[in-house]
Structure 1
């Protein structure tokens, strides 16, 4: 164990020379420390319609404007002004008296067509388009509700709108998982760089001359990479809590992310053994991580979903079982990769 700790300490001491890694950690620190301010701007990109106070003026024309006006009364920040024809609506739009144009007409079959004109590539375009989308969605729902009486069979009831805060959704489903998993990716990248650099410089052979085995060398490097990940995640979560974002089940989150770190580190060691060239190894590692986490995220019990449920204290037996399962998979994966590398070594 002493030799492993010595190698781990050597790895940690060498992190000061990794400028890219330090920059990545610095960016995470900035996001976590100023999360209460940054989340407003990030939510505007994640869900532009969440911004309060957005108001648009719509110039409307056509023979179905009455229903559009009723729909606008249900959408906050949207007002509709009726114009005699499309030309008058266009004129209002051109002189900036309206933010958008909506022309709604009924056809002979009872259908409704809507032609929308919005500004092209302006700062306000995104907010205008989001508001128009909400207006037309409400218009459609109202029409469906009114026409339900003429159907032979009753349609399925529409689900009630939850009205959940986009800030809450963004924080717990995007921000917290990102801050938790970025250290995982960084740790794996550190191992890839460390092992391939040792092979490239020939220092791995020097280490093997010392009274340590190849397995102990790999263990030491892995210990350093795994150790720094939960420390980073804990700091980010504490900073989020200091900024008014409570996070529940922090120990369970750290156990889960440590297990995932060990799994990613095992992947990194395997890739470094198969492709000792640094550039090739980093490329393969990036692809491998994307496939690994992309596939896991596609599942209902993916790591991101598990972290979000733990953070909001919505834990059930399935979530706990997932944490245990990921831990077991990580232990088996690292033990298997470590055994293979220790038995077969690295090929220069």
Structure 2
């Protein structure tokens, strides 16, 4: 005789085609994974526009600390400094960009052994974001050079500054944001599917019809969990394949899929418990959302949180403890599932 849990799981998967919200979420994830190389460029430009290409910024510099500012601006690629006699002359040039081409003003004043810098940039302009990013790099260069020069006059030498690195923001964004997003979003969706499936069965009274068949409540819950839990690693595997086609190399795909499966079991089990304890669909979804935010938000306090673990596994920089961390999540998922089975056994069937 065929396992009733497999039959229920197959029924659950077949009904997903009718859920427009779920289909739309899947299409969105396919788009993100299939066109990740293009999306990374656009998304990185939102928080670091200076990395999308070289953009020349002409800066007017004035004040008695203009020499230091010019040196700092020279160290930043894409910044063209022009020294003016005073602040008024620099501001006049800034107010006539069509003639002078000045995009921003930096005024540096030395007082009491300190350098005070005031910056002026265009107001509410698309160009403003790029200008601000370039000026930020100039000020960072100025701060670094000042720290190095002033360290010579200290009686106690400070800790040596680390060497500057030229890391690509695309690399960091891909492995710390994009890859975890594609891996864990299916987990959250699977949990939401579990809540919807059980609460909808209860609200429509179809759960009673299922129990007329020779299946137990545990088998019904197991069948629904099987469909939702298996969906997340299946999606994650597809996303990793699409990322590979886009040139994003993932170092440990098997470990990542095990991690996704473990988290999917944990989240879907919690979702099923929420649906059994809360008969109302909206209340159950609210409790599930709050619970997921609380659990995943709390894990960020630990160094081996899911996002960090996934990023390190994807990059290939995971240490020897990574397999034990993944195993710990798997044990946690199995433990929550076992607790759910005890909860199902304690639920009064007449209350459903």
Q: Does TM, normalized by the shorter one, top 0.5? A: yes
* Moved segments of 4+, more than 4 Å: 345-348
Contact 1:89 1:101 in 2 (8 A): yes
Aligned twin of 2:226: 223
**TM-fit CA distance, 1:130:** 1.1
Instruction: Pick which of 330-339 and 182-191 moved more.
Output: 330-339
TM-score normalized by structure 1?
A: 0.97
Aligned twin of 2:9: 8
Aligned twin of 1:205: 208
Aligned twin of 1:62: 63
Contact 1:266 1:338 in 2 (8 A): no
1:175 to 174, 178, 200: 178
Contact 1:36 1:243 in 2 (8 A): yes
Q: Distance in 2 between matches of 1:95 and 1:341?
A: 74
Aligned twin of 1:157: 160
**TM-fit CA distance, 1:223:** 0.1
Q: Distance in 2 between matches of 1:122 and 1:31?
A: 29
**TM-fit CA distance, 1:247:** 0.9
Aligned twin of 1:53: 54
**TM-fit CA distance, 1:35:** 1.0
Instruction: Assess, with a 3 A threshold, how the Cα gap between structure 1 residues 162 and 253 changes in structure 2: closer, same or farther.
Output: same
* 2:103 counterpart of 1:99: yes
Q: Distance in 1 between matches of 2:286 and 2:121?
A: 42
Give per-residue Cα distances to partners, 1:15-54, cap 9 Å, x unaligned.
Answer: 0111111111111100111111111111112432322212
Any unmatched runs of 5+ in structure 2? none
TM-score normalized by structure 2?
A: 0.96
**TM-fit CA distance, 1:343:** 2.1
Q: Distance in 2 between matches of 1:27 and 1:95?
A: 46
Q: Distance in 1 between matches of 2:218 and 2:308?
A: 34
Aligned twin of 1:288: 291
Q: Distance in 2 between matches of 1:240 and 1:46?
A: 22
Contact 1:273 1:345 in 2 (8 A): no
2:102 alignment partner, SS class: coil
Aligned twin of 1:195: 198
Instruction: Pick which of 83-92 and 168-177 moved more.
Output: 83-92
2:300 alignment partner, SS class: helix
Aligned twin of 1:35: 36
Contact 1:55 1:77 in 2 (8 A): yes
**TM-fit CA distance, 1:345:** 4.3
Q: Distance in 2 between matches of 1:191 and 1:309?
A: 29
Instruction: Pick which of 195-204 and 270-279 moved more.
Output: 270-279
Q: Distance in 2 between matches of 1:182 and 1:302?
A: 16
